[in-house]
Structure 1
């Protein structure tokens, strides 16, 4: 038979589990949750058409999302798809783009939340001189005050081509990201 002292300590031990188990779960999952939040675009900030917004240390303006004419001879694209090009004008603020724009991601999203990543499209005209992708711009060595044009190409289903909106996420701003309205 256990003594009164033993029963008291057993009761205290059981009550301490109420505090220790949640603390242990928090401690073991903290790094995973922090990594999840810093590596994903979770909270949108809507940007009106034509508006310039400070993001990732630079000023971003969404200019256009236009269909692109693909060379007929080189194209093997499905007839139900449309190639689109998203164009941004960026004025560099803080020139530490390698850190601020780490994991730079421009994507398209439709009204129900489906996402499209940039795509390499066969038969698409080559990018004009001076235009960069988001990733290339991050490592371009651009200086403060410099202006650049950033473009990404996408292949989306024809039925959502007029509804998709571009989004922009950079490592220094995550888990927040920008969701741009299309110019009228």
Structure 2
């Protein structure tokens, strides 16, 4: 059995203490370094920070000018074709194309409806809903339409939401070239 002198024991304790402090600092830094790329990708792939758009205002976004026109309900659907307590809605936008590289600028185009509690609804295929008239596109089909600069498009998306939130939902728009920012539109009066 070896006996350590007092100076050796103090020196060893000092190095242990320093090592523990180094761990306290290095472990969080290492975790941050490991997850940094994932955090960047998460921010690029999600709509995180809204830009509010007033009713009837046009906003430059994703290389084009967007204007929210209406959120209307659909009447005359076959009884029993929808889940109980739900209501179909159509969100309509007018878009004037600025930069024609829509396939890259609008990659991951996402129109959603959100309520005051933060819940969101994606576009849905609603049984019995009329197909859009000729010339009306969805966000995805517009991105691959080959539209030129100055072209005007009507974009519609169909939604199915609970009746209780139909009057309080607001449409949002996110596109790949603008993320993590997205547009949150006010409803026209």
Give the TM-score normalised by the residue count of structure 2.
0.89
Give the Å deviation of 1:22. Answer: 2.1
Cα RMSD of the aligned pairs, angstroms, is 1.8
The answer to whether the aligner puts 1:25 opposite 2:26 as a matched pair is: no
Give ranges in structure 2 of 5+ residues lacking alignment: none
Q: Could you tell me how far apart the structure 2 residues matched to 1:115 and 1:37 are?
A: 18
- Look up the match of 1:178: 183
Give ranges in structure 1 of 5+ residues lacking alignment: none
Give the TM-score normalised by the residue count of structure 1.
0.91
Q: Could you tell me how far apart the structure 1 residues matched to 2:111 and 2:98 are?
A: 19
- Look up the match of 1:151: 156
Matches within 5 A, 1:161-176: 161-176=166-181
Matches within 5 A, 1:1-184: 1=4, 3=8, 6-72=12-78, 76-184=81-189
Give the Å deviation of 1:168. Answer: 0.5
Judging changes above 3 Å, is the alpha-carbon distance between structure 1 residues 6 and 124 closer, same or farther for their aligned structure 2 residues? same
Query: Which is greater in Rg?
Result: 2
Give the conservation status (yes or no) of the 8 Å contact 1:87–1:150.
yes
SS of the aligned residue for 1:128 comes to coil
| CA deviation string 1:116-137 (max 9, x = no partner) | 1101111111111111100111
